[in-house]
Chain A
Amino acid sequence: MLAVAGVLSTVVLAGAAAVDASNSTSGATPRSKLTVTAPAAPGGGWDLASREFQQALRGDSIVNNVQVVNVPGAGGTIGLGQFVEFGDDPTRLMMTGTVMEGAITVNKSRVNLENTTPIARLAEDYQVFIVPADSPYRTLQDFMAAWKKNPHSHAVGGGGLGGTDHLLAGLAAREAGIDPKEVNYISFAGGGEVLTALLSNTVEIGVSSYNDFRDQIEAGNLRALAVSADRPVPGIDTPTFIEQGVDVSLPNWRGLVAPPGISDAQRQELTDIVTEGTRTAEWEDALTRNKWVDSLLTGDEFADFIRQDQLRVNTIIEELGL
């Protein structure tokens, strides 16, 4: 019995090695081996999403061997530039999202998401407008009124230029009747720095991921004025912009794309794999832990979504004068 097991495992190992060796040719299938490019440094947002999805695919043995490769830099456009070179390799996926759409336009990247094959949008989270607890602004209307009167005297703190925080500030300014170029936007390296800038009264208002500040809001150190979701989110007490009469929504979505040259059958196979991955207990658990909201969208609907979202992002970036 033992000998049989030994022989079997040897065969399996040899088989796996053969698959590995033939990776560069068309021999490998997405079910045997899948490599996910995280176009960010270890610990970044896309890295986290990629590794969580890796766990989901591994957990239920949907794919035998899932690897995550980090290609950081330039808002993910370095990773994108490398990824489109994979041509017709059906064993590759890349994590992407709103931030990359901004970076493509701001960095004038020579490739964009049109050069990839969209597979699925997975999940989204939201940005908030926040003020310190002792701020005179109690509601979004309070701030918008003051902002409109003298846009430049209200410093707005948030993440990198052309990122979701900056885009949201621009969209809100436009709704308030302010030229987005007039926004006195101060960019910081991440939510932690935005938080100190708020607490030291460097900036009057901050824009950042709701999840970064969830505890600070609950502890009463910060007050959230509005959240960027398009409809009220269960578990988030803060009203949306739309609910408060400001027609702005900007979910920060994350999704997977495949290389440009794959066949329709391969695209369907990858879509099936990803859809199965989102149905695992591991992925459910990841959504809960990271406070992501499930927003699965596949096929041509996802492709249309990217096209429209990219256009919207381009417009606002142009208005922001980047």
Chain B
Amino acid sequence: MESLGNLGDGFLTILTPMNMLWVLVGALLGTAVGVLPGLGSAMAVALLLPVTFSLDPIGAFIMFAGVLFGGLFGDSTAGILMNTPGNSTAIAGSIEGHRMAKSGRAAQALATAAIGAFIGGILSSVLVVFFAPSLAELATLFGPAEYLALAVFAFVAISAVVSESVLRGLAALVIGLAIALVGVDGMSGAARFTGGLPELFDGINIVVITVGLLALGEVVAVAARRGTTEDLRVMPSTGRLWLSRREIRLAMPAWLRGTAIGVPFGIIPVGGSEVPTFLSYGTERRLGSRRADSMFGKGAIQGVAGPEAAGNATAGTAMGALLALGLPTSATAAVLLAAFRQYGLQPGPLLFERASDLVWALLASFFVAMTVLLVLNLPFAPLWAKLLKVPRHYLYSGITVFAMLGVYATSGKVLDLVLVLAIGLLGFAMRRYGLPVAPVLIGVILGPLAETEFRRAMAVSEGDPSVLVSSPITIILYLVLALGVTGLLVQRARNRRRARTPRAVSS
């Protein structure tokens, strides 16, 4: 209960008119940055650092909390409306979200995303408040073998559900793995597929790939279908602000499941929120396919609710890990770490003792920032949805401009602009020939993770493969995976038999 008292003190510290203004400024700024494709909250915080120099630490960190969560609330907006996720964390939520928008339910998709982000963020913040030190212990249980098991698990769990055709899904996955190979190999220092260009040594930025495949690919595909019978009209949004009771009943379990999936990922450093958001999407899709009235493929509300909650839950516990362990598990957390140092503070085991007033004020500001963002975002959902009424040639040329701008702002490299165009054409070709795009992104995100962890595990064990199944965590993950795959195969076989039986009767 000591935590509760401390948190109360934190609220007392920050609930001043001036601090509330900082929260608001941060939230608006974060949302704006989040909406733009390619610009993430990490960048916003980094650029704000010098500006906040003249603020007192509490004011600055409250503003950062607003930016951080604002970015997470905002990045799904563009993804849902225009299929141009502002950040890689919003990819999974955009898959169904954009389909909802296309069928006239943009406002509901945006509201679902906002509420999901709120629930995921609040619940994980509560966990951080009470269990920050013990959450940190979790990180020490994970070595390379455990990460590899997790990556393999995510690979199978996600790939099995995102594509109807196994062959097409695998083909797309291989494209993703190939793109991910570009760059200097972190284990040996060898340059792979860089063509000797130093600009490619760090690999192809995930922002370039996301924006190219999703945004530009979509733009070209829309342009190519103009005037043909396939010319799909985006239905006007109904503008209904509130979710119906039925929608809430569908979304609520997905929000909670998403949060449960996202929470542990904030502590273990596996490249931010992409893995949990995709895992949550896979789970929802699997569960949805059991329902007779499954909306997946046509805009399922669970497909938005789960990943959004998972993304924000990860961000919440990532902050906990940063504060308690000094571990930056995401790009934003790494920038915040630099921000702490600006004020002569070092996150880690001693931070709670040395600057406890600041820590509790920061935690309290999470709650305030998220409440402010929910209040800001809900009424704006129908307003944002009106954007789809803009004539399409203006809308899509606008998307192209912002997408290219975002890519250039991230790296300042001309080569990235060329790459984004090339990947955009690839995205168009994939749409044209019916290859799913999501497995490419899964390959790009999980491929390097699986490779690095496998090689680290083998290096540490000096080539002994038994290290891969040497801990309870790895054994459990592989067992669950084996059970799941067997279950899937049995179900498929049964479906096939069932499909065959009626035909036998009728003939």
Distance in Å: Cβ of B43 to nearest Cβ of chain A: 6
- In the complex, whether A270 has a CB less than 8 A from a CB of chain B is no
Return the CB mask of A157-181 against B: 1 if under 8 Å, else 0: 0001110000000000000000000
- In the complex, whether B335 has a CB less than 8 A from a CB of chain A is yes
Q: Which of A107, A190, A202 contacts B198 (CB 8 A)?
A: A107
Residues A216 and B348 in contact, CB atoms below 8 Å apart: yes
| Across-interface contacts of B335 in A (CB, < 8 A) | 42-43
- In the complex, whether A184 has a CB less than 8 A from a CB of chain B is yes
Listed stretches A70-78, A228-236, A249-257, A261-269; interface member:
A70-78
Residues A192 and B459 in contact, CB atoms below 8 Å apart: no
Distance in Å: Cβ of A20 to nearest Cβ of chain B: 20
Q: With A42-B47, A184-B462 known to touch, is A190 a contact of B334 (CB < 8 Å)?
A: yes
Residues B462 and A196 in contact, CB atoms below 8 Å apart: no
| Across-interface contacts of B331 in A (CB, < 8 A) | 43
Residues B140 and A199 in contact, CB atoms below 8 Å apart: yes
- In the complex, whether B225 has a CB less than 8 A from a CB of chain A is no
Q: Which of A43, A70, A73, A192 contacts B269 (CB 8 A)?
A: A192
Q: With A43-B338, A214-B346, A215-B348 known to touch, is A73 a contact of B139 (CB < 8 Å)?
A: no
Return the CB mask of A209-226 against B: 1 if under 8 Å, else 0: 001101110110100000
- Taken together as a complex, chains A and B put the C-alpha atoms of A103 and B377 apart, in Å, by 45
- Taken together as a complex, chains A and B put the C-alpha atoms of A107 and B184 apart, in Å, by 9
Of chain B, the residue at the smallest CB distance from A78 is B198
- In the complex, whether A289 has a CB less than 8 A from a CB of chain B is yes
Of chain A, the residue at the smallest CB distance from B342 is A289
Listed stretches B173-181, B320-328, B364-372, B396-404; interface member:
B320-328
Of chain B, the residue at the smallest CB distance from A203 is B460
- In the complex, whether A193 has a CB less than 8 A from a CB of chain B is yes
Residues B140 and A192 in contact, CB atoms below 8 Å apart: no
A47, A73, A192 interface centre (most CB from chain B within 10 Å): A192
Residues 195-245 of B at the A interface (beta carbon under 8 Å): 198-199, 201-202
Residues A202 and B460 in contact, CB atoms below 8 Å apart: yes
Distance in Å: Cβ of A237 to nearest Cβ of chain B: 16
- In the complex, whether A200 has a CB less than 8 A from a CB of chain B is yes
- In the complex, whether A293 has a CB less than 8 A from a CB of chain B is no
- In the complex, whether B182 has a CB less than 8 A from a CB of chain A is no
Residues A190 and B346 in contact, CB atoms below 8 Å apart: no
Q: How many residues of B contact A (CB 8 A)?
A: 53
Residues B350 and A219 in contact, CB atoms below 8 Å apart: yes
- Taken together as a complex, chains A and B put the C-alpha atoms of A72 and B344 apart, in Å, by 25
Q: Which of A153, A193, A197, A215 contacts B349 (CB 8 A)?
A: A215
Q: With A73-B199, A160-B186, A289-B341 known to touch, is A196 a contact of B142 (CB < 8 Å)?
A: yes
- Taken together as a complex, chains A and B put the C-alpha atoms of A42 and B337 apart, in Å, by 12
Residues A202 and B456 in contact, CB atoms below 8 Å apart: yes
- In the complex, whether B160 has a CB less than 8 A from a CB of chain A is no
- In the complex, whether B130 has a CB less than 8 A from a CB of chain A is no
| Across-interface contacts of A73 in B (CB, < 8 A) | 198-199, 201-202, 411, 413
- Taken together as a complex, chains A and B put the C-alpha atoms of A152 and B325 apart, in Å, by 30
- In the complex, whether A55 has a CB less than 8 A from a CB of chain B is yes
Residues B53 and A55 in contact, CB atoms below 8 Å apart: yes
Distance in Å: Cβ of B377 to nearest Cβ of chain A: 26
Q: With A43-B42, A51-B49, A200-B143 known to touch, is A193 a contact of B346 (CB < 8 Å)?
A: no
Q: With A78-B198, A153-B462, A161-B189 known to touch, is A200 a contact of B348 (CB < 8 Å)?
A: no
| Across-interface contacts of A41 in B (CB, < 8 A) | 46
Q: Which of B42, B144, B188 contacts A202 (CB 8 A)?
A: B144
Of chain B, the residue at the smallest CB distance from A322 is B189
- Taken together as a complex, chains A and B put the C-alpha atoms of A55 and B49 apart, in Å, by 12
Residues A81 and B186 in contact, CB atoms below 8 Å apart: no
- In the complex, whether A109 has a CB less than 8 A from a CB of chain B is yes
Residues A43 and B350 in contact, CB atoms below 8 Å apart: no
- In the complex, whether A186 has a CB less than 8 A from a CB of chain B is yes
| Across-interface contacts of A218 in B (CB, < 8 A) | 350
- In the complex, whether A195 has a CB less than 8 A from a CB of chain B is yes
Distance in Å: Cβ of A150 to nearest Cβ of chain B: 10
| Across-interface contacts of A69 in B (CB, < 8 A) | 412
Residues A199 and B139 in contact, CB atoms below 8 Å apart: yes
Distance in Å: Cβ of B87 to nearest Cβ of chain A: 15
B43, B199, B342 interface centre (most CB from chain A within 10 Å): B342
| Across-interface contacts of B142 in A (CB, < 8 A) | 196, 200
Distance in Å: Cβ of B239 to nearest Cβ of chain A: 39
Of chain B, the residue at the smallest CB distance from A68 is B50
- Taken together as a complex, chains A and B put the C-alpha atoms of A75 and B43 apart, in Å, by 19
- Taken together as a complex, chains A and B put the C-alpha atoms of A253 and B282 apart, in Å, by 47
Residues 336-369 of B at the A interface (beta carbon under 8 Å): 337-338, 341-344, 346-351
Distance in Å: Cβ of A38 to nearest Cβ of chain B: 11
Residues B199 and A51 in contact, CB atoms below 8 Å apart: no
Distance in Å: Cβ of A189 to nearest Cβ of chain B: 8
Distance in Å: Cβ of A54 to nearest Cβ of chain B: 7
Q: With A43-B338, A162-B189, A219-B348 known to touch, is A200 a contact of B140 (CB < 8 Å)?
A: yes
Q: With A153-B462, A161-B186, A200-B143 known to touch, is A289 a contact of B344 (CB < 8 Å)?
A: yes
- Taken together as a complex, chains A and B put the C-alpha atoms of A189 and B268 apart, in Å, by 13
Top 4 A-B residue pairs of the complex, sorted by shortest distance between their CB atoms: A42-B46, A215-B348, A74-B201, A43-B335
> 20 A-B pairs, CB-CB below 8 angstroms?
A41-B46, A43-B46, A51-B50, A73-B198, A73-B199, A74-B198, A107-B184, A184-B459, A187-B187, A196-B327, A197-B143, A199-B139, A200-B139, A200-B140, A202-B143, A202-B144, A212-B326, A214-B346, A215-B346, A290-B341
A sample of 13 more A-B contacts (CB under 8 A), given A106-B189, A216-B348, is: A42-B43, A43-B335, A55-B50, A70-B412, A72-B202, A77-B198, A161-B186, A161-B187, A184-B460, A187-B187, A196-B269, A200-B141, A215-B351
